[in-house]
Chains A and B, each alone.
Chain A
Amino acid sequence: MIVASKRERFGYYLFLLPAFVVFTTFIFGPMLYSFYLSLCKYSLVTTNNPQFVGFKNYLDLFKNTQFLTAVKNTMIFTLALVPLTLFGGLLVAMGINSKLIKYKRFYKICYYIPYVSSMVAVSYVFKILFSSRPDAAMNALLAAFGVAPIEWLNSADWAMIIIILLSFWKQLGYVMIIYLGGLLAIPEDVYEAVSLDPINGPTMLTKITLPLLKPTTMFLLVTEVINSFQIFTPVHVMTSGGPGMATTTLVTLLYEKGFKNSNMGQASAIAVIIFFALLLLSIIQNNLDKE
Chain B
Amino acid sequence: MKKFFALFLVVAMVLSFVACTPTEEPTPTQEPAVEGTKEPVDTNVTIRFWQAGGDTADAQATMKSLVEAFTAETGIKVDYQTYPWGANPHTSFQTAIVGGDVADLLIVGSPFDYGLALEGQVAPLDEYISEETKADLQGVFASEGVFHGEGELDGKFISMPLYGGTRTIYYNKAIFDAAGVAYPDTSWTMEEFLENSKKLTGEFEIGGEKKTVYGFATSAKYASQYLPFIWNFGGEILTQDNSAAAVNSEEWKAGVEYFLQFFEEGVTPPGSEAMDLAEQLAMFMDDQVAMMCATVDYVTEILKNEGWDAKLGVGAMPNNNGIASSYVGADVFIIPAIAKYPAQAAMLLEYLLRTDSQVKYAQVVGFTPAVKSAMEDPSIANDPVQLAFANALEDGKYYAKVSCSSDITTILRENIQSLLAGNMTLDEYAADAEARINQALAEAE
Using a CB–CB distance below 8 Å, which chain A residues touch chain B? Answer: 43-47, 60, 63-66, 131-134, 149, 151-156, 159, 239-246, 248, 256, 259-263, 266
Contacts and interface: CB of A to CB of B under 8 A. Distances in A.
Contacts of B436: 65-66
B95 A44 contact: yes
Contact of B275 (A134, A154, A241, A263): A154
Interface in B266-313: 269-275, 279, 282-283
17 contacts: A45-B94, A60-B443, A65-B432, A132-B275, A155-B271, A155-B273, A155-B421, A242-B274, A242-B417, A243-B220, A243-B274, A243-B417, A243-B418, A256-B410, A259-B91, A261-B404, A266-B443
Contacts of A47: 97-98, 100, 121
B443 A260 contact: no
B348 to A, nearest CB: 23
**Majority secondary structure of chain B interface residues (helix, strand, loop or mixed):** helix
Contacts of A155: 271, 273, 421
A156 B270 CA distance: 13
Given A243-B421, A260-B406, A266-B443, A134 B270 contact: yes
Contacts of A239: 274
A244 B115 contact: no
Q: Which 8 A-B pairs rank lowest in CB-CB distance, beginning with the nearest?
A: A132-B271, A154-B271, A244-B418, A151-B271, A244-B417, A243-B274, A243-B417, A154-B274
Contacts of B121: 45-47
Task: Count chain B CB atoms within 10 A of each CB in A46, A260, A262 and give the residue with the most.
Answer: A262
A57 to B, nearest CB: 9
Contacts of A66: 410-411, 414, 436
A154 B271 CA distance: 5
Contacts of B244: none
Contact of A152 (B220, B271, B407, B423): B271
Give the interface SS of chain A, mostly helix, strand, loop or mixed. loop
Nearest to B97: A45
B88 interface: yes
Contact of B421 (A65, A156, A241): A156
B221 interface: yes
Nearest to A262: B94
Nearest to A155: B271
Contacts of A64: 439
Contacts of B269: 132-133
A153 B91 contact: no
A149 B91 contact: no
Interface residues of B, number: 43
Interface in B429-445: 432, 436, 439, 443-444
Interface of B: 88, 91, 94-95, 97-98, 100, 115-116, 119, 121, 212, 220-221, 269-275, 279, 282-283, 403-404, 406-407, 410-411, 413-415, 417-418, 420-421, 423, 432, 436, 439, 443-444
Nearest to A120: B86
A44 B95 CA distance: 7
Contact of B273 (A63, A149, A151): A151
Contacts of B406: 256, 260-261
Contact of B270 (A43, A46, A151, A260): A151
A44 B274 contact: no
Contacts of A248: 414
A263 B443 contact: yes
Which of B97, B212, B274, B420 is packed against the most chain A CB atoms within 10 Å?
Answer: B274
Most buried by A among B275, B436, B443: B443
Contacts of A153: 271, 274
Given A45-B98, A66-B414, A133 B279 contact: yes
A62 to B, nearest CB: 12
B407 A243 contact: no
Nearest to B121: A45
Nearest to B432: A65
Given A45-B115, A132-B270, A132-B271, A242 B413 contact: yes
A207 B191 CA distance: 72
A43 B271 contact: no
A246 B415 CA distance: 11
B11 to A, nearest CB: 23
Nearest to A47: B98
B421 A134 contact: no
Residue among B119, B272, B436 with most chain A CB within 10 A: B119
A242 B221 contact: yes
Contacts of B282: 133
Of B88, B121, B220, B421, the most chain A CB neighbours within 10 A belong to B421
A160 to B, nearest CB: 13
Given A151-B270, A156-B423, A243-B418, 11 more contacts: A43-B119, A45-B119, A47-B121, A134-B270, A240-B221, A241-B414, A242-B274, A243-B220, A244-B415, A245-B414, A263-B443
Contacts of A262: 94, 115, 403
A251 to B, nearest CB: 15
A243 B272 CA distance: 10
A63 B439 contact: yes
Contacts of A259: 88, 91
Nearest to A148: B270
A85 B179 CA distance: 51
A64 B411 CA distance: 11
A198 B53 CA distance: 71
B202 to A, nearest CB: 14
Contacts of B98: 44-47
A43 B221 CA distance: 26
B283 A133 contact: yes
Contacts of A65: 432, 436
